[in-house]
């Protein structure tokens, strides 16, 4: 016997929950099947992998009434960048702790990038257009992007098109000069990907990140009051309030396809079957299509595209326990994003090692923190830590990375090393094992120009619809991709509702 629904959502990550909530709000009978014992994916647990999420997109927050379900944001997070000298404090377009000339130039650069990211932002809240066989709507949506860029005015348009495919290194060198301020921008442009500041396309990823932000304004992370858990709990409540059922410890083993080439349901590992005309998967593109659906339902070209998707995760999540805070770091600071990278050069060097499957001697780090019973716990992200590390992610390698990380922190926050009482490293390989995250990649696949917009997750499979009718991708592998915006889930649900799940 199998239970029947209007829609099945595979995975209760934030995108899965957003999709389920939107579908349920539209009157669909929805079940969310989550493999883990708790919901939230990378946002779940006391020390979530995504410790400093961007805000859920305001359109989604209001559409799902998340405020009613307890999601409230505090003031936007500032960025504190430690480079050994005076600490640099960045609050939107205002930078303190740098030379007055650099602060002026930075303000100018930030305002410019904000305008450009605004032109890009229009593309994020809707399905990307199709190039081939596209309808009128697709052409209009393409035209709209063109118009919004054109709408910047001739000078800005030319400048945006000039820099958009270049690299953040050149941009910062040209506009503000290297140092902790540039390093903080470069961290934003590269974190989560296998790109260094000098990689082409890092201006695009920076603009993308600035465009996908929530209530705090361009490029600023907003912390929900009571932490990341509030996002998960508000989304869960919103979904359940509209009637969606969420079942944890229900790992999906395969997606069922009928003789007419339609996805019609899923089977759990224990054999339980669920049926629905709409299946939305929050899993990665590769896991969804190659593991759950299976290559027998795909053309060889699509299988090859999936196999070749760039999905090598590059970020390790490190929890550091401190007995007490070092001098120069206050309790108030821990509410913000703290960047440890003295300059762009060091970030680039950290990538050099990772490119060849090695650990960097001086990782680039960002962290935030919270008070615990025993002292302090810092939630750090260290890059670049390749999933495909030579020799594998042994305990010795993790210790080596933790030591290199504390050493890098010690260099700019003297005394912090001696106060560390313990650490826990979650490598990209761990994320893959724990969350089924292909390559341990946050964004389910690199955010690169060849894997964005109508090319996300791969050419021919954009617009959330997968090759088998009735199957949709609603996770970060779909447009517009990673960071905690909820947009892939929102857009995918919109597409599924539009298609109607015709039987």
Partner 1 sequence: MNKALTPRPQMPMGALPAPFHERIAAENFQHSWMNWNGYASPGVLDTAEFEYFAIRNQSTLFDISPMCKFRIKGPDAEAVMNRMVTRDVRKQKPGRVSYVIWCDEDGNVVDDGTLFRRSEDEFLLFCQEPQLLWIKDIAWGFDVEVTEVTHDLAGFAFQGPTTAATLRDLKIKEIETMRPFDIRDIKIAGKKVMISRTGFTGDLGYELVMAPKDALSVWDAVYAAGQLRGVRIIGYEALEMARIEAGFLLPRVDFISSQTNLRVNRARNPFEIGLGWLVTFDKPHYNGKRALQRLAGVAPKRKLVAIEISKDKAAHHALVYHRKTREVGFVTSALWSATTKRNIAYAWLEVPFGQAVKDDLWVEIYLQREIEWQRRMERVMIVERPFFVHPRRTVTPPLNF
Instruction: Decide whether 66 or 293 has the Cβ nearer to partner 1.
Output: 293
DSSP 333: G
Asked if residue 302 binds partner 1 (CB under 8 A), the reply is yes
Q: Which of 104, 299, 372, 394 binds partner 1 (CB under 8 A)?
A: 299
Contact call for residue 301 and partner 1 (CB under 8 A): yes
Site size toward partner 1, by CB under 8 A = 16
What's the rounded Cα separation, in Å, for the pair 198 and 203? 10
Q: Whose Cβ is closer to partner 1: residue 300's or residue 502's?
A: 300
Among 32, 17, 348, CA closest to 186 = 348
How many Å is the maximal CA-CA distance in the chain?
Answer: 71
Tokens for 29, please give them.
């009978």
Q: How far is the CB of 488 from partner 1 (least distance, A)?
A: 24
Beta bridge partners of 73: 224
Residue with smaller CB distance to partner 1, 226 or 299: 299
The DSSP element (H or E) to which 377 belongs, if any, is strand 376-383
What minimum distance in Å lies between the beta carbon of 463 and partner 1? 15
Shorter beta-carbon distance to partner 1: residue 296 or 330? 296
Least CB distance to partner 1 at residue 270 (A)? 24
Tokens 């990140």 belong to residue: 209
Measured N-to-C along each axis, helices 202-211 and 100-121 cross at an angle, to the nearest 10 degrees, of: 70
CB of 297 to partner 1, least distance (A): 5
DSSP tag of 322: E
For residue 49, give the nearest of 229, 187, 199, 214 by alpha carbon. Answer: 229
Q: Binding marks (x or -) toward partner 1, 233..262, rule CB under 8 A?
A: ----------------------------x-
**Contact positions with partner 1 (CB under 8 A) in 269-298:** 290, 294-298
Q: Which is nearer to partner 1, 177 or 460 (CB)?
A: 460
Query: Between 413 and 454, whose beta carbon lies closer to partner 1?
Result: 454
Q: Which is nearer to partner 1, 300 or 332 (CB)?
A: 300
Does the protein bind partner 1 through residue 467 (CB under 8 A)? yes
Tokens (6 digits) for 314: 């590059």
Q: Smallest gap, in angstroms, from Cβ of residue 466 to partner 1? A: 12
Please state the closest distance from residue 468 (CB atom) to partner 1, in A: 8
Residue 460 interacting with partner 1 (CB under 8 A): yes
Beta carbons within 8 Å of 146's beta carbon, 6+ residues apart: none
- The two tokens of residue 203 are 């201006």
Q: What angle do CA 390, 392, 393 make, to 5 degrees?
A: 120
Q: How far is the CB of 111 from partner 1 (least distance, A)?
A: 43
Where residue 45 falls (left for φ over 0; alpha for ψ -120 to 50; beta otherwise) is left
Residue 82 or 472: the one with the smaller Cβ distance to partner 1 is 472
Q: At closest approach, how far in Å is the CB of 469 from partner 1?
A: 9
Q: Which of residues 58-117 bind partner 1 (CB under 8 A)?
A: none
Kindly tell me which residue out of 1, 300, 332, 502 binds partner 1, with binding defined by CB under 8 A: 300
Locate 169 and state its tokens.
Answer: 């290194």
Nearer to partner 1, 80 or 293 (CB): 293
Q: Catalogue the E-assigned strands of 115-176.
A: none
396 binds partner 1 (CB under 8 A): no
State in angstroms the smallest separation of the CB of 315 from partner 1: 29
Residue 131, CA distances (Å) to 140, 461, 463 in order? 12, 11, 11
Q: What is the DSSP string of 272-291?
A: -EEE-SEEEE-S-HHIIIII
Where along the sequence are the contacts to partner 1 (CB under 8 A)? 261, 290, 294-304, 307, 460, 467
């Amino acid at each position: 016997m199998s239970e029947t629904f209007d829609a099945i959502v595979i995975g209760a990550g934030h995108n899965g929950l957003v999709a389920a909530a939107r579908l349920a709000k539209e009157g669909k009978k929805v079940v969310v099947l989550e493999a883990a014992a708790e919901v939230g994916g990378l946002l779940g647990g006391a020390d979530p992998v995504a410790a400093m999420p961007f805000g859920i997109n305001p359109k989604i927050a209001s559409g799902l009434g998340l405020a009613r379900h307890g999601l409230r944001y505090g003031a936007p997070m500032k960025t504190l960048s430690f480079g050994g000298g005076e600490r640099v404090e960045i609050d939107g377009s205002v930078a303190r702790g740098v030379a007055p000339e650099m602060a002026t130039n930075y303000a100018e650069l930030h305002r410019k990038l904000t305008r450009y990211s605004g032109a890009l932002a229009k593309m994020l809240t809707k399905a990307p257009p199709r190039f081939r066989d596209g309808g009128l709507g697709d052409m209009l949506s393409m035209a709209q992007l063109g118009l919004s860029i054109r709408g910047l005015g001739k000078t800005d348009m030319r400048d945006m098109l000039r820099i958009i495919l270049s690299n953040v290194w050149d941009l910062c060198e040209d506009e503000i000069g290297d140092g902790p301020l540039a390093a903080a921008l470069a961290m934003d442009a590269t974190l989560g990907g296998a790109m260094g500041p000098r990689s082409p396309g890092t201006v695009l990823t920076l603009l993308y990140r600035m465009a996908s932000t929530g209530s705090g304004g361009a490029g600023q992370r907003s912390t929900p009051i009571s932490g990341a858990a509030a996002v998960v709990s508000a989304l869960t409540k919103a979904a359940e309030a509209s009637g969606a059922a969420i079942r944890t410890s229900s790992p999906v083993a395969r997606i069922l396809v009928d003789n007419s080439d339609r996805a019609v349901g899923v089977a759990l590992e224990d054999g339980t079957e669920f049926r629905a005309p709409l299946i939305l998967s929050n899993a990665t593109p590769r896991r969804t299509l190659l593991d759950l659906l299976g290559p027998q339902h795909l053309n060889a070209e699509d299988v090859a595209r999936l196999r070749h998707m760039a999905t090598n995760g590059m970020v390790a999540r490190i929890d550091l326990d401190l007995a007490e805070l070092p001098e120069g770091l206050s309790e108030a600071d821990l509410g913000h994003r703290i960047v440890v990278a003295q300059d762009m050069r060091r970030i680039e060097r950290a990538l050099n090692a990772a490119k060849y499957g090695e650990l960097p001697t001086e990782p680039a780090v960002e962290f935030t923190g919270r008070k615990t019973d025993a002292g302090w716990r810092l939630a750090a992200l260290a890059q670049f830590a390749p999933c495909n590390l030579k020799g594998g992610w042994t305990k010795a390698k993790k210790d080596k990375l933790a030591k290199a990380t504390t050493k890098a922190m010690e260099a700019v926050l003297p005394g912090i090393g001696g106060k560390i009482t313990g650490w826990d490293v979650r490598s990209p390989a761990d994320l893959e094992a724990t969350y089924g995250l292909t390559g341990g990649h946050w964004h389910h696949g690199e955010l690169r120009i060849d894997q964005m917009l109508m090319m996300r997750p791969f050419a021919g499979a954009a617009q959330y619809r997968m090759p088998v009718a009735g199957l949709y991708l609603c996770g970060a592998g779909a447009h517009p991709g990673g960071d905690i915006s909820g947009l892939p889930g929102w857009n995918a649900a919109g597409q599924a509702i539009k298609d109607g799940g015709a039987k």
